[in-house]
Amino acid sequence: MNPEMDSALKELRQSVGDAYVIDTPEDLIVFEYDGAVDKATPLAVVIPETAQQVSECVKVARRHELPIVARGAGTGLSGGAIAEHGGVVIAMTRMTKILEVDTENRIAVVEPGVVNLDLSTHVAPLGLYYAPDPSSQRACTIGGNVAENSGGPHCLAYGVTTNHVLGMEVVLADGTIQWIGGRTRESVGFDLRGILVGSEGTLAIVTKVVVRLLTKPESVKTLLAIFKDLDDASAAVSGIIGAGIVPAALEMMDDLCIQAAEASVHAGYPEGAGAVLLVEVDGITESVEEEVEAIEEVCNRFRPIEIRTATDAEERERLWAGRKGVLGALGRLAPNYLLVDGTVPRTKLVEVLSKIKQMSVDTGYPIANLLHAGDGNLHPSVLFDERIPGDTKRALEIGGEILELCVEVGGVLSGEHGIGLEKQDHMPLMFNESDLAVMAKLKPSFATEDSLNPGKVFPTGATCGDVRQAAAIARVGPGAYV
């Protein structure tokens, strides 16, 4: 360790305490990856407990020209929490307080390390819940959800994270602590809250969040529609939305997902099905019953094998356990998977899924298809084995081809997982040089000097980060960031 880094570590320990600074190689391994395939080891990890400690750590890192990466639970799926250029990772896992619940105004104030599901569990006795529900909601944190603008199965009816965040306390790149937004839906001036949600930690670090809470619905019904093939299930999705029905959730899984989920959680999914739709309707009892009938009528036009309705809360939870556990269950089929997160118009689902199936046949790599089908958000998972030379590279190439296909049919590169490292080279598919240059001006306006989560989102050359990183490398020592 060189003197410059020794000095930085000493100051970081003074800021958060010796026990909360990690710098030994064997401990840093835990922080070298997230839920994606990229890996990089930081120089140090700090675990602050307060916004003031976050501020002090940011100031220390800036003085020593070290890159800063904020990290939540590490469940991200685009490499957003990877310290690609080394530097200091600020892990928010000690900031786990639910600071306030205001039942009258239906809001909560939470710290960024609060686990998504824990918030809903906490307010459930009050008849409230937090709507955004990523599949990783048992582990992912509110701060990470804000960084990536996460969604989940129920985002079809209720929207993604940005629709449920009213305000936030943030630490800026110079260590200043600032409130953005507030406690009400409307605020005066520019919507800086909207800019920061989904900015992937490149503009500021979130230390408190004001979120909207919703009242639990009077009635909930969950249906499982089983189809012989993926095309019929895809057509049924378009049929449901085309009929003017917007369920709370409309999810799809193909045969590989069904196989993995059933073996893992025994959710009661049928053997031999080509695809299933998991449809949830909530609201007033009478309207729920009417909507369920309408959905069954539409599904029956597309030759379902069977349509089931969960008879009680236990069966409903079991059906959802299969859906939310399917990604982990894919480990039964292959050692690794690359999860692609593209979104296409619903009318293009049949075409796009057919082409993805053909890609799988042509390349020999199994591709498991999981979809937030109601809003066209695809999650095809390319199954591979990183121990086989060239397998990771080929999986990434196939993932890139899927993203190109999504954009080609009028879709976008991400529905909820962000751009991070994995998709940055594909940004020119959607944006020309002028577009990227305009977006890159956001960083200077926040005076980040590319110190916060550098090298993410934009393709190489879209920002002046390389110059900044070269200066940091010169101070800390050759090889420190590679």
Q: Concatenated DSSP letters for 416-453?
A: SS--TTTSGGGGGGT--HHHHHHHHTHHHHTT-TT-BS
Once rounded to an integer, what is the mean pLDDT over residues 100-129?
A: 98
Task: Give CA–CA dist 399/377, Å, rounded.
Answer: 15
Q: How far apart are the first and last CA of the chain?
A: 15
SS3 408: helix
Q: What is residue 1's predicted lDDT score, i.e. its pLDDT? A: 60
Average confidence score pLDDT of the chain: 92
* Structural domains in the chain plus CATH codes: 3-93+441-476 (3.30.43.10), 98-215 (3.30.465.10), 218-331 (3.30.70.2190), 334-427 (3.30.70.2740)
pLDDT tier at 267, thresholds 50, 70, 90: confident
Q: Judge whether residue 464 has pLDDT over 60.
A: no
- Which of the 8 DSSP states describes residue 94? T
Both structure tokens of 200: 């992937």
What's the pLDDT tens digit per position in 372-387? 999 999 999 999 999 9
Q: Judge whether residue 296 has pLDDT over 70.
A: yes
Can you say whether the dihedral through the CA atoms of 122, 124, 126, 132 is positive or negative?
positive
Measured CA to CA in angstroms, residue 349 lies from 377, 419, 471 at distances of 9, 22, 47
Q: Judge whether residue 180 has pLDDT over 70.
A: yes
Angle at 438 between CA 435 and CA 442, to 5 degrees: 135
Angle at 285 between CA 318 and CA 160, to 5 degrees: 60
| Identity of the highest mean pLDDT range in 91-105, 253-267, 459-473 | 91-105
Q: What is residue 370's predicted lDDT score, i.e. its pLDDT? A: 95
**479 residue type, one letter:** G
Q: Judge whether residue 101 has pLDDT over 50.
A: yes
Residue 300 C-beta-side C-alpha neighbours within 13 Å: 7
Q: What is residue 352's predicted lDDT score, i.e. its pLDDT? A: 97
Cα-based torsion angle of the residue sequence 60, 442, 89, 387 in order, rounded to the nearest 10 degrees: -150
**457 residue type, one letter:** V
What's the pLDDT tens digit per position in 334-352? 999 999 999 999 999 999 9
- Please give the distance of CA 51 from its chain centroid, rounded to a whole number: 23
> Phi and psi of 26, rounded to 5°?
-70, -30
Q: What is residue 467's predicted lDDT score, i.e. its pLDDT? A: 33
Angle at 414 between CA 243 and CA 360, to 5 degrees: 85
